[in-house]
């Protein structure tokens, strides 16, 4: 990361603008985890001695703290290895449970621009006999409530729409979509991995029955996440073996990671409003600076409503592979999701970008420690790369 002091040489330092792929673990989070790696190393399922009881009590406390941040009861929070597992448990687990209760596989609805951690489980369910409808977002990345209304069928069982897109950062009208589902007895799931910790989030206000979370998106550790399961929502487990997490997710709970997730959540809430204001200012400075010097660039997705730390742009007429090679020594960014498998962004294709445009796009995502100096430097680096490529 570039130092803040303007007199420090910047040329050999990589500017990190890929915070939607992951975030650095905050020092206070590392400190919160440290005792649970060493002194308090007990298994929370081993409750016949003090080490195990202490670990179990710590898990209970962390669960309660996270639940409080979401406005839910602690028993409505199931720990997982991350949002990918949470999405799989929500979608596979609930769809299969509904198929049993309803007498067979029904109809599922999602959006073309969802993360693969939602799209791939839906494709698995399609193989199992479920009907799947994927809504096409508007050119600004958003879907309309009317689109969902029109897609619902008599046998629709489940709808999944992410709160905030992981590539273009647009924020979907989840509350309104949930209301449509609730009025028709349809379960609503939302992948909130990119939103929790960055946006105010109360489960009751969202109206979702199932919500997926991931700690490493808000300065917590990798390998831990959670699924919110509101009361009355049925799930089939995906794995068996120990009965942990109400029988829905067997396996020894990673106490240090859970303590880290709770600490990161509390940290994110402490300065959420001021941090978002600061990041929005930097993001707008980045967008305006790039646009002023490169008038042909295009914004991907609506500027509002959008995550404050996200900017996604297309640079027309430039080879995507050459652009990314040119930026790599100075700038860490991406052309899409960290899980895109090297293919052009399906999100950008879904909102109407061509393959070449998708390849020539940049996802620039800011973090808690991003500085004004870095934004100024990023504008310079990207502009210089564009000009050099257009001259060759």
Average pLDDT over the chain, rounded to whole?
94
Q: Would you say residue 11 has pLDDT above 60?
A: no
Three-state secondary structure of 17-61: CECCCCCCCCHHHHHHHHHHHCCCCCCCCCCCCHHHHHHHHHHHH
State pLDDT tens for residues 268-278: 999 999 999 99
**Quick one: which of 187, 192, 203 has its CA closest to 226?**
192
Q: Would you say residue 6 has pLDDT above 50?
A: no
Tokens of residue 146, six digits: 């009317």
**d(C-alpha 152, C-alpha 108), whole Å:** 9
Q: State whether residue 208 is helix, strand or coil.
A: coil
User: Hey, which bits of the chain come out as E strands?
Assistant: 15-16, 77-80, 107-111, 131-135, 156-160, 187-191, 210-214, 225-229, 298-299, 310-314, 331-332, 361-365
Percent of the chain topping pLDDT 70? 95
Of the pLDDT bands very low, low, confident and very high (cuts 50, 70, 90), residue 1 is very low
**d(C-alpha 310, C-alpha 166), whole Å:** 9
25 is annotated as an active-site residue: no
Residue 208 · residue 242 · CB < 8 Å: no
Q: What is the pLDDT of residue 343?
A: 80
**d(C-alpha 224, C-alpha 221), whole Å:** 7
Q: What is the pLDDT of residue 392?
A: 73
**d(C-alpha 80, C-alpha 77), whole Å:** 10
Q: What is the pLDDT of residue 335?
A: 79
Q: Would you say residue 10 has pLDDT above 80?
A: no
Considering only CA atoms, give the Rg of the chain: 22
The pTM score is: 0.94
Tokens of residue 83, six digits: 């949002």
Omega before 160 within 30 of 0, i.e. cis:
no
Tokens of residue 303, six digits: 């500027």
Q: What is the pLDDT of residue 3?
A: 41
Task: Kindly state the average pLDDT of the residues 370-375.
Answer: 98
Please give the domain boundaries of the chain with CATH numbers for all domains. Answer: 27-270 (3.40.640.10), 272-390 (3.90.1150.10)
């Amino acid at each position: 990361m570039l130092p803040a002091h303007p007199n420090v040489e910047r040329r050999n330092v990589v500017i990190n603008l890929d915070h939607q792929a992951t975030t650095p673990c905050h020092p206070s989070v590392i400190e919160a985890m440290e005792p649970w790696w060493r002194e308090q190393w007990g298994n929370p399922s081993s409750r016949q001695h003090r080490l195990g009881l202490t670990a179990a009590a710590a898990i209970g406390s962390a669960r309660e703290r996270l639940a409080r941040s979401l406005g839910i009861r602690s028993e409505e929070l199931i720990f997982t290895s991350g949002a990918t597992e949470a999405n799989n448990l929500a979608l596979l687990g609930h769809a299969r449970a509904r198929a049993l209760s309803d007498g067979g596989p029904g109809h599922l609805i999602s959006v073309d621009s969802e993360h693969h951690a939602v799209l791939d489980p839906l494709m698995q369910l399609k193989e199992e006999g479920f009907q799947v409808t994927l809504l096409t977002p508007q050119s600004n990345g958003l879907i309309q409530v009317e689109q969902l209304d029109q897609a619902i069928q008599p046998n629709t069982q489940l709808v999944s729409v992410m709160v905030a897109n992981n590539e273009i950062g647009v924020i979907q009208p989840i509350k309104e979509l949930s209301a449509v589902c609730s009025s028709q007895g349809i379960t609503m799931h939302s992948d909130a991995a990119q939103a929790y910790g960055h946006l105010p989030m109360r489960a009751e206000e969202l109206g979702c029955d199932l919500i997926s979370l991931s700690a490493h998106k808000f300065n917590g550790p990798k390998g831990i996440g959670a699924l919110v399961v509101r009361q009355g929502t049925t799930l089939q487990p995906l794995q068996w073996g120990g009965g942990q997490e109400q029988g829905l997710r067997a396996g020894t709970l990673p106490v240090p990671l859970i303590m880290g997730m709770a600490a990161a959540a509390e940290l994110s809430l402490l300065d959420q409003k001021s941090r978002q204001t600061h990041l929005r200012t930097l993001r707008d400075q980045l967008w305006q600076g790039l646009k002023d010097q490169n008038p042909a660039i295009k914004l991907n997705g609506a500027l509002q409503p959008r995550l404050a730390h996200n900017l996604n742009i297309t640079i027309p007429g430039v080879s995507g592979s050459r652009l990314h090679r040119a930026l790599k020594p100075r700038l860490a960014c991406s052309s899409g999701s960290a899980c895109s498998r090297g293919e052009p962004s399906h999100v950008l294709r879904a909102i109407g970008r061509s393959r070449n445009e998708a390849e020539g796009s940049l996802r620039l995502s800011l973090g808690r420690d991003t500085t004004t100096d870095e934004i100024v430097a990023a504008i310079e680096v990207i502009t210089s790369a564009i000009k050099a490529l257009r001259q060759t």
